[in-house]
Structure 1
């Protein structure tokens, strides 16, 4: 079954992507939850209009994203984590945790899916993470993981 994704679904497909899925998965999971629509001729025609409309909305938000990036430029986010005596943290730092700390410390709301964390952030120390706010606005920021 060919479907057009309406939202990002992890390990399935990204928004506005046309993918082929098994009939049962499409019919019983994606379509009822509003995550995708059937990829027939009329919906394929609507796809370009949906993409154009979405891009227009994103373009309007571009100034807001630039303002957020400028507000965070040169700042360091402090992240508290429990760790052992060796400095290795228990668990991991998550996108949701970073999102909440950005809101708490700087008053900035960033979607969690736009936050890209480094793989090596497993110990106390300073690391850099990336925020892809918009294809034109990518902001790198320092994050200091400290003992909680």
Structure 2
């Protein structure tokens, strides 16, 4: 039985692939779960249209990410923290703190996309990398200062 996968199926294929499976597996699991559809002429044409739309959306996403990357490259954030003896921070500065500081500058970035190059436990200048889309990973300066 020939099917077109609508979504990634483990050990079978990726979304958009045409696969050959046993009739029972396709009829009783893949099709009812919405993971695949029969490979008819109409379905193949629909698949081509869906791929074209996905490519156009991906191009727009990459363009927006490049614009955001240019904006982020020129941005630095300052985070003020309370310190104890020897200028050591109580706790540490996290990616959530960096996301909050960016949000104050009207730049909304999910904290899971921010990675700090090292643990921030003292005052100083650090670098954070933002994972936007694919290989677009701008870096921002993070200044940690005394409150």
Common fold, TM-score beyond 0.5? yes
1:86-97 to structure 2, matched below 5 A, reads 86-97=86-97
Match of 2:75 in 1: 75
Match of 1:131 in 2: 130
Shift of 1:60: 2.5
> Which portions of structure 1, spanning 4 or more consecutive aligned residues, are displaced by more than 6 angstroms?
52-56
Shift of 1:119: 2.8
TM-score by length of 2: 0.60
Match of 2:99 in 1: 99
Equivalent-residue separation in structure 2 for 1:84 and 1:54 (angstroms): 52
Equivalent-residue separation in structure 1 for 2:115 and 2:55 (angstroms): 22
Equivalent-residue separation in structure 2 for 1:115 and 1:60 (angstroms): 22
Whose Rg is larger?
2
SS in structure 2 at match of 1:89: strand
On the 8 A contact 2:9/2:35 being kept in 1, the answer is no
The number of equivalent residue pairs is 108
Match of 1:111 in 2: 110
TM-score by length of 1: 0.60
Per-residue Cα deviation, 1:11-47 (whole angstroms, up to 9, x for no partner): xxxxx795xxxxxxxxxxxxxxxxxxxxx5445945x
**Structure 1 segments unaligned to the other structure (5+ residues):** 1-15, 19-39
Equivalent-residue separation in structure 1 for 2:128 and 2:91 (angstroms): 18
1:17 and 1:93, CA in 2 relative to 1: closer, same or farther beyond 3 A? farther
1:7-86 to structure 2, matched below 5 A, reads 18=10, 41-42=30-31, 45-46=35-36, 57-86=57-86
SS in structure 2 at match of 1:103: helix
CA RMSD, aligned part only?
2.9
